Chains A and B, each alone.
Chain A
């Protein structure tokens, strides 16, 4: 279970999250929706430990383990995966090399045996087929020259291969056309499991047509201001965020 309690986070001394409290039980998918500037991406970065996102108060734990005291790699080894809104290009490092290096680093950190090259190749082939990705793409430097949709698919592929337990998707639908959105969503849905939790951060409801959340939370001005079932997302789509903004409250 992901437990976030009264989380305060500042970026360059400017408070962004101001007492965010949220729980995602194992096996559930929760959506966090909110207007621009509400702190949605900050939530993802804070949980994954990005430098510059200073936690000033509160706590966050995953399956009872405090996350905030760990460095980013330790959090990854503990099962945290952040699918980036804008995935990075890594020149000169083939995608497959990147993923295998990361996977083995995590396995070493957990004291597990590393995956062999042939076994990994098999996994990659299966996973890339499921996401309808050209296998040759995995031999190219990671994300270099990839389209927005290809980059997002690559994020989901990494997610499938690294097998995290806490999956945070930051605006995964941005930049995707409708076909790509479907494929990516199917990829995410395939990763649903009783021992996994997912936090789907999104501005628009449309992603939630494909990835059905158990719960929807509204994030505005750095706090969760409303929570409800999937119908809350439809309501937001129809009425906008206005009523949740501080001036309207």
Chain B
């Protein structure tokens, strides 16, 4: 209830894209462009083991031989891969960081974004202090990770992946690329070659992670691509809830964000992965904005393992993203809950793949697309059942809401059932925001924008409820803000 009130307030109170500021942080860049030397530069900067450099170079070779995919229902100006910076890092002391050592300018950026990096308040027992751990990634590097010591007490490893490569190389080597192979797709190959940071999470057997973990990605430098890599390993019987958030300054250039997220869930492990994506979407004419080309995949390797993806996608000029589950374990389960909101000239092609390999594995997909302005939104999904996977169940529901007359919404579900025992259900609806409902809400005292925000929040409520409480409020505000100016 309070959340909806705040949504409505947010509409009135906030600018269209409130995270669009740039910060004047002294930055170190790699030379512009991409070649083997740049990769060596990044690897050396990170102090990586030799095998990692070779892994990157092999990925680069593969990438050179690949072609950019064109099957998605999105149109964008081609990216000049030689005109980008592949590494941009705020200048600060190297080595293990505590909050005290972080550049105050950087801390100020996160404070402005409303990201809690302070752990002192919580450790000191201050009531109401936000209790979740944050890994803050600024351009190409992680600048600080909070609650590391606290988490280490229960054996949870939560640190920048560049640090994990130095401290836990064997663990990283065992799992890196095991879910999303280097050659999986064009952007994943590029990421494998040049990723500079991201988060690494390991939850030991039987441990329920005592707090929410989150990574907050911020692109600040211009003409810079962000290529982060996240690897989450949930060992047998463990549980973790993880959230990522993203913002970027308003720039009239398009910026590339090509991330890879890999999740491994062993027997009886459960991972909840939530995303609130609010990259800069470009201006009203469609100039600028982030290209969000992301590969996210979970490997439910263990029996009875469970991975749940929840995403609220409101930003980016172009989104190409399909968080997926490979349901290898028997009775493993995958979930995908998605809210994709496009306005202005945004384009989103997003959905999921549920690959059922294990017996009695099940999956559930609920995708809500809201299109406004001149935007275009596509749900693209695959539910695949292997011949040996008996007793598979899937439920898919895709609902689209159109606001105005110039937007588009498409649903492209693929189903491949190669085992006759599978029970697959698919439901889809497309509706237009009803003038009658709008007037009804306005008659009761809501302005047009407040009415739209309320109705849209109602439309996406089932999915919103899957988000961790702390973030649901934030996400509801985002819904309102991203739809500003969508009517009238």
Residues of A at the B interface (CB closer than 8 Å) are 48-51, 71-73, 75-77, 80-82, 84, 87-94, 96-106, 109, 117, 141, 158, 162
Contacts and interface: CB of A to CB of B under 8 A. Distances in A.
Interface in B431-481: 434-437, 439-448, 450, 454-455, 457-462
Contact of B1 (A72, A82, A97, A141): A97
Which of B1, B434, B445, B459 counts the most chain A CB atoms within 10 A?
B445
B437 A90 contact: yes
Nearest to A93: B458
Given A92-B460, A100-B1, A105 B439 contact: no
Given A72-B439, A88-B440, A93-B455, A100 B5 contact: yes
Contacts of A90: 437, 440-441, 454-455, 458
Interface string B2-26: 1011001000000000000000000
Contacts, number: 93
Given A88-B436, A105-B8, A117-B1, A93 B457 contact: yes
A98 B5 CA distance: 9
A76 B1 contact: no
Contacts of B2: 117
B458 A92 contact: yes
A90 B8 CA distance: 16
Interface of B: 1-2, 4-5, 8, 434-437, 439-448, 450, 454-455, 457-462
Given A97-B1, A101-B4, A105-B450, A76 B458 contact: no
A37 B476 CA distance: 43
B443 A72 contact: yes
Given A91-B459, A92-B459, A101-B4, A162 B442 contact: no
Given A80-B443, A84-B440, 15 more contacts: A50-B443, A51-B435, A73-B442, A76-B443, A87-B440, A89-B437, A93-B454, A93-B458, A94-B1, A100-B1, A100-B5, A102-B444, A104-B8, A105-B447, A109-B445
Q: Which 3 A-B pairs have the closest CB atoms?
A: A92-B458, A92-B461, A102-B444
A11 B439 CA distance: 16
B443 A82 contact: yes
B446 A105 contact: yes
23 contacts: A51-B439, A71-B448, A73-B445, A76-B442, A77-B445, A88-B437, A90-B437, A90-B440, A90-B455, A92-B457, A92-B458, A93-B454, A93-B455, A93-B458, A93-B461, A101-B5, A102-B444, A104-B5, A104-B8, A105-B446, A105-B447, A106-B445, A117-B1
A90 B462 CA distance: 14
Nearest to B465: A92
A69 to B, nearest CB: 16
Contacts of A96: 1
B440 A101 contact: no
Contact of A158 (B434, B437, B444, B447): B444
Nearest to B455: A90
A162 B444 CA distance: 8
Given A88-B437, A91-B459, A105-B450, A48 B4 contact: no
A102 B440 contact: no
Contacts of B462: 92
Contacts of A98: 441, 444, 454
A44 B435 CA distance: 17
A48 B440 contact: no
Contact of B446 (A80, A102, A141, A158): A102
Contacts of B4: 93, 97, 101
A77 B444 CA distance: 8
A117 B458 CA distance: 19
A92 B8 CA distance: 16
Given A90-B455, A105-B450, A48 B443 contact: yes
A91 B435 contact: no
A102 B439 contact: no
Contact of B442 (A71, A94, A158): A71
B312 to A, nearest CB: 15
Which of B435, B442, B443, B450 counts the most chain A CB atoms within 10 A?
B443
B458 A101 contact: no
Nearest to B3: A97
A196 to B, nearest CB: 17
A101 to B, nearest CB: 6
A87 B447 CA distance: 19
Nearest to B460: A92
Given A104-B5, A105-B450, A141 B458 contact: yes
B165 to A, nearest CB: 44
Contacts of B5: 100-101, 104
Contacts of A89: 437
A51 B435 CA distance: 9
Which of A50, A102, A109 counts the most chain B CB atoms within 10 A?
A102
Given A97-B4, A104-B5, A117-B1, A72 B458 contact: no
